[in-house]
């Protein structure tokens, strides 16, 4: 779906190590170059992805109703920012490049349209959770909420990131069964999150005066993360599912490969059980 030209150019034009007689650039110059490269990468990949869904790229790049459309640029800014943050976070784990030299188109699209944007939102949610724990200790969604609720939200957010890191590793190792397990795990997470957000907003009410601005922000960030998972699953899951041959299905799943998926499912399914059987308010604090 998306061409590899932009990413190949980034790989070919990567920064070389200085010769022994050359002094390396100061760290802040190196950081500036890395951030600039990631911004260019996020911009180009987001542009190609959005235009892929719009039709012929050569035509729509010149169309005034996209070029001057504020909705297009708002969606572009949100998607590119999420992609940038997600790629930067995965770079720290050496997962910011192609999974392999022979990376397939489905694997490439999964990284760009699914893993990086989803984890970009997860990182921003984690920062919000930490800020709420530090500065809104006993404020919460309602007066009865505590910092423990924000800690539970942080656990849910962290398990999403850890599971997607394992998702990347599964594609890198061409472990077909583990890739399929991560696809199913993400779908179950998206379904559970939809139930929690839908029942929660219907039970609590949008105009409740105890629902503070930070909580409204985290609510929309959860919705954004949900949209990225749904979009990624709808566009890449079927292609990735059948992207591996019989040899790739011979790799066994290990205990360490199943732990991230089990943690994510446990962290999201347990709140769903509580919210359905007890009360929507029970886990509304935790998920937001």
Query: How does pLDDT run across 102-155, given as a tens digit for each residue?
Result: 999 999 999 999 999 999 999 999 988 888 777 665 444 434 445 566 777 788
Tell me the residue range of the domain where 120 lies.
5-287
Among 215, 221, 219, which Cα is nearest to 141's? 215
Cβ neighbourhood burial of 82 (10 Å; 0-12, 13-18, 19+): buried
Q: Mean pLDDT of all residues in the chain?
A: 78
* Least-confidence region, from 12-21, 195-204, 255-264: 12-21
- pTM exceeds cut of 0.85: no
What's the total number of domains in the chain?
A: 1
Residue 117 has a pLDDT of 95
Which residues have a Cβ under 8 Å from the Cβ of 116 and sit 6 or more positions away? 82, 83, 86, 87, 90
């Amino acid at each position: 779906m998306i061409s590899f030209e932009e990413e190949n150019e980034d790989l070919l034009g990567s920064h070389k190590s200085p010769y022994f007689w050359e002094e390396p650039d100061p760290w802040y110059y190196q950081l500036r170059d890395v951030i600039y490269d990631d911004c260019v990468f996020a911009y180009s990949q987001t542009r190609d992805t959005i235009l892929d869904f719009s039709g012929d790229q050569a035509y729509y790049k010149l169309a005034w109703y996209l070029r001057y459309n504020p909705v297009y640029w708002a969606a572009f800014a949100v998607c590119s920012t999420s992609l940038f943050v997600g790629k930067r976070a995965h770079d720290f784990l050496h997962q910011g490049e192609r999974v392999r030299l022979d990376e397939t188109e489905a694997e490439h699209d999964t990284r760009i349209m699914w893993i990086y944007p989803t984890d970009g939102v997860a990182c921003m949610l984690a920062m919000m959770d930490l800020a709420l724990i530090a500065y809104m200790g006993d404020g919460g969604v309602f007066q009865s909420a505590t910092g423990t609720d924000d800690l539970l939200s942080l656990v849910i957010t962290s398990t999403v990131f850890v599971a997607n890191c394992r998702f990347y590793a599964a594609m890198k190792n061409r472990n077909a069964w583990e890739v399929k397990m991560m696809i199913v795990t993400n779908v179950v997470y998206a379904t559970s999150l939809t139930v929690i957000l839908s029942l929660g907003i219907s039970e609590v009410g949008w105009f409740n005066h105890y629902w503070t601005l930070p909580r409204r922000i985290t609510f929309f960030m959860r919705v954004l993360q949900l949209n990225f998972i749904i979009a990624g699953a709808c566009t890449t899951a079927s292609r990735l599912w059948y992207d591996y041959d019989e040899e790739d299905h011979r790799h066994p799943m290990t205990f360490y490969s199943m732990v991230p998926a089990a943690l994510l499912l446990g962290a999201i399914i347990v709140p769903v059980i509580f919210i359905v059987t007890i009360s929507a308010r029970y886990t509304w604090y935790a998920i937001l």
